[in-house]
């Protein structure tokens, strides 16, 4: 009896992490709304009771998923905060293609979540908005560092291009769609930044 109890305890350890990993994979593959809690529990694998003990609602799970993405640097914000890359290159990474083998092509996870939780008072939508506002601040800091006189204006233009490119990449299934926005971003940067002679 003791052996069974110990084995079942061991099997139950790491349930939250397995749930988040399963949710991340399923959300990326088929979207948030198309993914059911039962499917996540099966993929984890955990019982539905364990799943709901960690996340009382799907909204809580989505929020935890987004927070984990943000904390691990697996979003565009992560590229913007890299200290080993010059500011201009950090900005232009917003338009880089998705990593090879990423299938299907997904846009920004924060925009995706905000679309699927459209009520601006919803915690998921609110968190997505915070991340998008942070992205503008990060870009504004970088363009200010480059000498731009109106960093907030240029930052809004650049992140609008990046978000639009990510959305079109997802709709068209073209992981390299950002190349079009990158060309426009380079023109914006060239025109807004002081020339060095």
Secondary structure of 93-130 in HEC code, one letter for each residue = HHHCCCCCCCCCCCCCHHHHHHHHCCCCCCHHHHHHHH
The answer to whether the beta carbons of residues 165 and 95 sit under 8 Å apart is yes
pLDDT at 16: 95
Q: Could you read off the pLDDT of 152-197 as tens digits, one per residue?
A: 999 999 999 999 999 998 899 888 889 999 999 999 999 998 875 4
Rounded to an integer, what distance in angstroms lies between the CA atom of residue 42 and that of residue 44?
6
Share of the chain above pLDDT 70, in %: 90
- Residues 86-120 pLDDT 10s: 999 999 999 988 765 556 777 889 999 999 999 99
Q: Give tens-digit pLDDT for 51-99.
A: 999 999 999 999 999 999 999 887 888 889 988 999 999 999 999 887 6
What pLDDT does 4 receive?
38
Q: Say how far apart CA 174 and CA 106 lie, in whole Å.
A: 10
**pLDDT recorded at residue 139:** 97
| Phi/psi at 30 (5° precision) | -135, 0
**pLDDT of amino acid 47:** 95
The pLDDT of 115-128, averaged and rounded, is 96
Task: Indicate whether 138 pLDDT > 50.
Answer: yes
120-144 mean pLDDT: 97
CA 113: distance to chain centroid?
Answer: 9
- With CA atoms as reference, report the closest residue to 101 among 11, 29, 19, 172: 29
Using one digit for the tens of pLDDT, what is the confidence trace for 17-38?
A: 999 999 999 998 899 999 999 9
Q: What is the pLDDT of residue 3?
A: 40
Structure tokens at 19: 């749930």
């Amino acid at each position: 009896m003791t052996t069974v109890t110990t084995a079942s305890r061991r099997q139950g350890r790491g349930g939250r992490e397995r749930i988040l990993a399963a949710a991340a994979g399923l959300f990326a593959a088929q979207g948030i709304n198309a993914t059911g809690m039962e499917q996540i529990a099966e993929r984890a694998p955990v019982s539905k009771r364990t799943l709901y003990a960690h996340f009382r609602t799907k909204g809580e799970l989505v929020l935890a998923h987004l927070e984990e993405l943000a904390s691990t640097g697996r979003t565009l914000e992560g590229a913007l905060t890299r200290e080993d890359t010059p500011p201009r290159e950090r900005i232009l990474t917003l338009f880089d293609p998705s990593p090879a083998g990423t299938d299907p092509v997904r846009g920004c996870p924060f925009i995706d979540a905000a679309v699927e939780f459209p009520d601006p008072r919803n915690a998921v939508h609110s968190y997505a908005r915070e991340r998008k506002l942070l992205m503008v601040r990060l870009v504004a800091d970088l363009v200010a560092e480059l000498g731009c006189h109106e960093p907030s204006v240029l930052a809004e233009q650049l992140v609008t291009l990046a978000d639009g490119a990510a959305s079109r990449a997802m709709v068209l299934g073209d992981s390299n769609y950002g190349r079009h926005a990158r060309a426009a971003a380079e023109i914006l940067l060239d025109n807004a930044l002081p020339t060095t002679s």
